[in-house]
Every structure is written in C-alpha cells, then in structure tokens.
Amino acid sequence: MNFDIYKAFCGLSTTFGPSGREADIIEVLTELIADTIPHIGDWDHRTDAMNNLIYHRAGTGKKVLLAAHMDSIGIVVTHIDDNGFARFAQVGGLMLGDLIDCRVRFQNGTRGVISFEEKTPYEKLGFDNLFLDIGAADKKQAEQCIQVGDFAVFDGEPFTQGDIICGPYLDNRIGCLTLIGAMAQLEKTDCDLYVAFTAQEEVGLRGAQTAAFAIQPDYAIAVDVTDTGDMPERKYPMAVKLGAGPAIKLMDRSVICDNDVRNALYRAAEKSSIPVQREIMEFGGTDTGVIQRTAGGTKAGAVSIPTRYIHSPNEMASISDIKYAIILLAQAVADGFE
C-alpha cells in the first residue's frame, strides 16, 4: 500500500469538515484517493444532496457498502456580544472539560480560544458559561471575521510516538483512511462495491441514512472509532484496549450487528492471522445503526478502531490497529459474507 497512515492522517485531521460543512474534507479525500488507489479508473464517484461522497466499482456479485463518516464534531457561533466575545452551541457531542482553554479554527482561518465565566464555581460550569475569544476589540471587529452560524473545529497538531497516533479527529478520519486502505487492496472481487464517506454522522447518523437508502446494499460494514476500557479508574468496564487489534462490533446503542457480517469478519481475521477484539460499546452509536434499518434493511456490521479520549482534541489510537483493520476489511469483502 503506497500511503503513510500518519502522513495521510495529518492532512485529514487538519482539514475543516464539521457536520454539514463537509466541502473541504470531500476535496481532500478525493485527492488522496486519486493519488492512492491503483486502477482508480475502475471507480466512479459522486456526492449526493446530503454531501455524502460515494465511490462505486461495478461488479456482478452481491452489493456491498463500506462506510465511514468524514464529518467531525465542532461548535457553531450563536451570538456575538458588544465586546466581541462569542457564544456557541455544540455540533455533535462535546464534553465541557475538553473545551476549556481549547483552541478552535474557523473555515476562513480565524482562530480563537474558549474560556469560561470566572464568577461561576468551576464545578458548576455549563456550556452556557463558556465563551469564545478571537481577540477582537468589539462586536464590529469580531463580525469582520466571524458571523452567527459560522462553524469552528479543534485547532491542534497531530503527533506520532512509537505505535501511537494522537490528535484531533481520529474520529473518524482514521475510519476514512481505513476505507481508502481497503479500497487500495481490494483489486480482485466480483462484488458490486460501494465505499461511502458519510456526512453528518456526529449530529445523528444523518448522511448514512440517505446513502444506504439510495444504494440498498445486501451487506454493509461501517468503520468508526470505539471507546477503550484501558485507562486508569474508568467508570464502566469495557473489554477493548489500545494496540490489541481492531474491534469487531457486536453491539452499541444504535445496533445489534448482523451475524453473517460478524462471522465473515471473524473468518477474515482468522485467515489473515489478525488479532481482533470483541466490542460492546454501552454508550454512543455509529452509522451501522441506520444502515441496518434503512429501506427494507441491510445486513450490517462494523469494524472499530480502539480510541482513547474520543471527542477530545487529543484522541489517541494505535497505528498497528489501523493497519490490521485495513487488512481485515479487505479480506472480509474479498471472501464474501455467506
């Protein structure tokens, strides 16, 4: 495979693409795919009204959909006061503690920092007590850079250390990379293959719903991040850890995965000698949930990349888990689901 996961991730991590504002990430993904996939001429691609980016390679076999959401969480400006400080709402699920002293960046390059009202006791802080400071002198100057309704994303540089990759938006730009890696490996298969980079997952699995409806696949696998249970004093036990292989999803709040798809993934793991983990994520859902239930239903499963500190500016995952996930996905699709 001719792409460096960390290098490719740096490009995707720093590309603007919060839910509903996916134009830039679509452009960067399209370029990366054109540079990475051998025989890209065998594929056609389109975007739909929801801004899902969908690749297709026609085949005579079963219709298979691989999906990963490309949107990220972020914030949206709701109000700018006379002194030039902005208030904001969440785009996707944010945690208050991750936002304090956090840097954000708008599509036009404007940067700001999030701080809090000091008069509220720290432990009583809510999202309403946070504000965004772009260093403007007053409202007029602020509005030359940002407007109510403008979206912003975490502004942070990724790093790699040993087998670790860390930075904003591993969720789910590493899922996108996993799909691209699998596309590159999947040269010989007769399945009618769709690869969808879905929009607006973080605000309720919205893009995957319309993509799956339009495609109506026989089988689907979504790739996303999942929590791990391996940090000190976690509240809930979870049998997934970093660096022990990709996780085959059994269940989360949105889905109980299809048996045929799950078994195909286990068979592929055994055949390729890949370590895999069993995932039950008690909180949160994935695109798998809506793909399974759209139109007349789809046999759907998921491959998850174990990730610490999900939805913080410093998500952490293992590069070997990502590499194994690519091989796992390609093997499962190549061998089929029956």
> What residue ranges bind Co ion (CB under 5 A)?
171
Cβ density class 80-108: b for 16+ within 10 Å, e for less: beeebbbbbebbbebeeebbeebebbbbe
Interface stretch with Zn ion, choices 76-84, 103-111, 166-174, 298-306 (CB under 5 A): 166-174
The two three-digit tokens of residue 248, written as one number? 């085959």
- Residue 56 CB, shortest distance to Co ion, in Å, is 26
**Residue 150 interacting entry, from Zn ion, Co ion, none, C-beta within 5 to 8 Å by type:** none
Angstrom distances, CA of residue 4 to CA of 97, 148, 160, 199: 32, 38, 12, 25
Nearer residue to Zn ion within complex by CB, 171 or 192: 171
What is the number of the residue whose Cβ is closest to Co ion? 171
Angstrom distances, CA of residue 67 to CA of 138, 147, 153, 179, 290: 44, 33, 23, 7, 11
| Binding flag, residue 178, Zn ion (CB under 5 A) | no
Residues 6+ apart with CB under 8 A from 83: 138, 139
Please report, to the nearest 10 degrees, the dihedral formed by the alpha carbons of residues 247, 251, 257, 260 taken in order: 60
The two three-digit tokens of residue 62, written as one number? 């079963």
- Identify the residue among 14, 172, 277, 294 touching Zn ion (CB under 5 A): 172
Q: Which of 201, 202, 279, 315 is catalytic?
A: 201
Cβ density class 117-146: b for 16+ within 10 Å, e for less: eeeeeeeebeeebbbbebebeeeeebeebb
Nearer residue to Zn ion within complex by CB, 192 or 224: 224
**Residue 321 interacting entry, from Co ion, Zn ion, none, C-beta within 5 to 8 Å by type:** none
Residue the block writes with tokens 């693409």: 17
- Residue 282 CB, shortest distance to Co ion, in Å, is 15
- Residue 165 CB, shortest distance to Zn ion, in Å, is 16
Nearer residue to Co ion within complex by CB, 150 or 171: 171
**Residue 228 interacting entry, from Zn ion, Co ion, none, C-beta within 5 to 8 Å by type:** none
- Residue 232 CB, shortest distance to Co ion, in Å, is 23
- Residue 252 CB, shortest distance to Zn ion, in Å, is 11
Alpha helices, DSSP H only, in 118-217? 139-143, 170-185, 206-215
| Binding flag, residue 224, Zn ion (CB under 5 A) | yes
Interface stretch with Zn ion, choices 59-67, 113-121, 171-179, 235-243 (CB under 5 A): 171-179
Please indicate whether residue 201 is annotated as part of the active site: yes
- Identify the residue among 71, 171, 227, 258 touching Zn ion (CB under 5 A): 171
Nearer residue to Co ion within complex by CB, 37 or 240: 240
State the residues that interact with Zn ion by CB under 5 A: 171-172, 224
**Catalytic sites, residue numbers:** 201
